[in-house]
Amino acid sequence: MLKRSLMMSAAAFLLLAPAFAQTPTPPAPSAQVPAAAPSATTSAPESAKPGFIAEQGKDQWLASRNLIGAKVGGPDNATVGSINDLLMEKNGNVLAAVIGVGGFLGIGSKNVAVPFKSLELSRDTDGNDKIAMRFTKDELQQAPDFKPLMPPPPRPPVAGGPGAVPRPGGAMTPGPKTQ
């Protein structure tokens, strides 16, 4: 549960990372105030400082609230699966949505990564989210399984290496693990 919460928080942060990296556009030269003239707005409110976002806009989506777990419809408006995860680059670009397809209540389903740009995100006037794509359920079931990167297994200790302790008779055994 904690791992899922951390993953959703990280996904939300990474979705917003490009917005944090943006620099404000300076006003047009004609609108600039000369340096000698006093300005009526010498200090901006905390929420208006560059780089910080005070609230979610109508055309912005939170991974934790609007995407993760959301049902995805196919071209015929039938539900084809739900979003289980987002695949992102280290610069914050979202590459793909990992969609769980098939199975019953998550059991027996497989994950398929579809290009994020293939999703059509919309919100009606009542604030209800709709996520659709052009892939059908059959196409997703025929697509390859998405395999997340798995870290390599830990290597066994080398005899006589760091942490090894001598055994009676001269043989070396791994010593206690230290962090």
Structure tokens at 61: 């989506």
Per-residue CA distances from 35 to 29, 38, 162 (Å) = 13, 8, 65
- Tell me which of 24-33, 58-67, 73-82, 154-163 is least confident: 24-33
Mean pLDDT of 5-22: 51
Mean pLDDT taken over the chain: 75
The Cβ of residue 103 has, within 10 Å, a number of other Cβ atoms equal to 11
pLDDT of residue 38: 41
pLDDT of residue 109: 83
Q: In the beta sheet, which residues pair with residue 174?
A: 164
Percent share of the chain, pLDDT over 70? 59
Q: What are phi and psi of 6, to 5 degrees?
A: -65, -40
Q: What ranges do the domains of the chain cover?
A: 1-19+60-148
pLDDT confidence tier of residue 122, bands split at 50, 70 and 90? very high
Which residue type is seen at 99?
Answer: I
Residue 169 has pLDDT above 90, yes or no: no
pLDDT of residue 72: 95
Rg (CA), the chain: 26
End-to-end CA distance of the chain: 25
DSSP string, 94-114: EEEEEEEESSBTTBT-EEEEE
How far apart are alpha carbons 103 and 84 in whole angstroms?
Answer: 14
Please tell me the CATH code under which domain 1-19+60-148 is placed: 2.30.30.240
Q: What are phi and psi of 15, to 5 degrees?
A: -65, -30
Better-predicted residue by pLDDT, 172 or 128: 128
Cβ proximity of 74 and 135 under 8 Å: yes
pLDDT of residue 77: 87
pLDDT of residue 33: 40
pLDDT of residue 102: 83
pLDDT of residue 10: 54
pLDDT of residue 51: 86
The dihedral formed by the CA atoms of 101, 84, 74 and 105, expressed in degrees to the nearest 10:
50
